[in-house]
Amino acid sequence: MSRSCLAVILAAGDSTRMKSSMSKVLHPIAGRPMIAHVMAAVASTGVTEAALVVGRDADGVARAGAVEGVSVEAFLQTERRGTGHAVLAAKDAIARGYDDILVAYGDVPLVTSAPFAEARERLAAGADVVVIGFHTDKPTGYGRLLVENGELTAIREEKDATEEERKVTWCNSGLMAIDGRKALSLLESIANHNAKGEYYLTDVVEIARARGGKVVAVDAPETEVAGCNNRAELAVLERLWQERRRHELMVSGVSMIAPETVFLSYDTQIGQDALIEPNVVFGPGVTIDSGAVIHAFSHIEGAHVSGGATVGPFARLRPGADLATSSKVGNFCEVKNARIDEGAKVNHLTYIGDAFVGAHANIGAGTITCNYDGVNKHETRIGANAFIGSNSSLVAPVAIGDGAYVASGSVITENVPSDALALGRARQEVKPERAKILRERALAFKAAKKARKEPGH
């Protein structure tokens, strides 16, 4: 769409009902602040400029609202005098002159670009004001959209509605689009002649109509325009977001055995024919390629898993983990900032951090890369086809050559050449009968201790 557009995002809520020390719009859905979800939705309609109306945590909200391709300017709302007054906090931006003005709220994280795009199309077709509504079977508490002959005649608050009007199930979401050439005049004409003495944005409907303007309403799914006021509603929005994203992935070819137990982040990418078993959690920054398998109870963040690779069960991939084709990270393993090359196996009970594991290498159970010296992190490099025996500790910086063997139970502090065998453990000694002597000594000590506690001793 070639029309210019300014999005005004109201994000000055003080989190009273959230019972929180930070702004409501900074609370995350799918690992991303609510305000960032809203900004992404308006940006995808072609908006290139946005005005954030902020209050509490103003700097943090402005940072969270930054989105690529959109110039964002923050405006501080110092008083709370209604939604109309809040929009006018961005008066300087509105006055610059745009074709379209979108008004949205920072606590509506499930909204998509579709209702905004439709509202802008209606503005382009000649409407002065476009209200975004939703249908619900539980309209109590919402303002009703009253429509005649295809035009919106009023938004009637429930306390002012007649019995017949209360039967209307098309309700006001609060989202709106206004003709940018008329927006400032309409907004400045809102009065506060009401019991609360506040300036209501919804009054622009009647003001525009009184001037002969055209006002219409468009529809959005109820879940898309649901707002958030407290922690319980935050949890509901998280559930709805997860359900929507899981469905999108499954219809695109991802298999989930128990989708309701899989939790995704806003940027999780999973390819076709990947299999996700139950109880898997994805943090931000994860890409799972086609054909990978993520077994149950795994936690993955900031990682890439290539096709044919398997993870888990009970595995943890931390930021920087990069699993190549057909590699394996098995049960109760943790990988951080490490490349596991093609066909390599990190089977069980192992920590690999700040490392490179070469193609087809085998890492035995209980292996640890000792990457931290208390001050700095150091790298471990394990060559292709190397074999690391169980319960080995590789003290970085250290390199194990291609095809090398490290004997089980070794502590390796020096580089191991290719095809060499390294043993770094104390020599075993066997002392006959010593176990029996130690056991008898321990039993005698226990009996003497018990006797000292008995009466008469």
Q: Three-state DSSP class for 124?
A: helix
pLDDT digit string, tens, across residues 249-294 = 999 999 999 999 999 999 999 999 999 999 999 999 999 999 999 9
pLDDT above 80: residue 365: yes
Enumerate residues 6+ apart whose C-beta is below 8 A from 429: none
User: What does the alpha-carbon distance between residue 457 and residue 452 come to, in Å, rounded to a whole number?
Assistant: 5
Contact 418, 437 (CB under 8 A): no
CA 153, chain centre distance (Å): 40
Which amino acid, 106?
A: G
User: What does the alpha-carbon distance between residue 7 and residue 119 come to, in Å, rounded to a whole number?
Assistant: 12
**Mean pLDDT calculated for residue range 132-153:** 93
Mark whether 295 is an active-site residue. no
In this prediction, residue 404 has a pLDDT band, given cuts at 50, 70 and 90, of very high
Question: Exactly one of 27, 295, 348, 457 is catalytic; which is it?
Answer: 348
**Mean pLDDT calculated for residue range 160-189:** 94
pLDDT, residue 328, reads 98
24 phi/psi in degrees, rounded to 5: -55, -45
Instruction: Give percent helix, percent strand, percent coil of the chain, each to the nearest 5.
Output: 25, 30, 45
- The helix-helix angle for 113-124 and 34-43 (nearest 10°) equals 40
pLDDT above 60: residue 233: yes
In this prediction, residue 456 has a pLDDT band, given cuts at 50, 70 and 90, of low
pLDDT digit string, tens, across residues 56-86 = 888 999 999 999 889 999 999 988 888 999 9
pLDDT digit string, tens, across residues 175-216 = 999 999 999 999 999 998 877 888 999 999 999 999 999 999
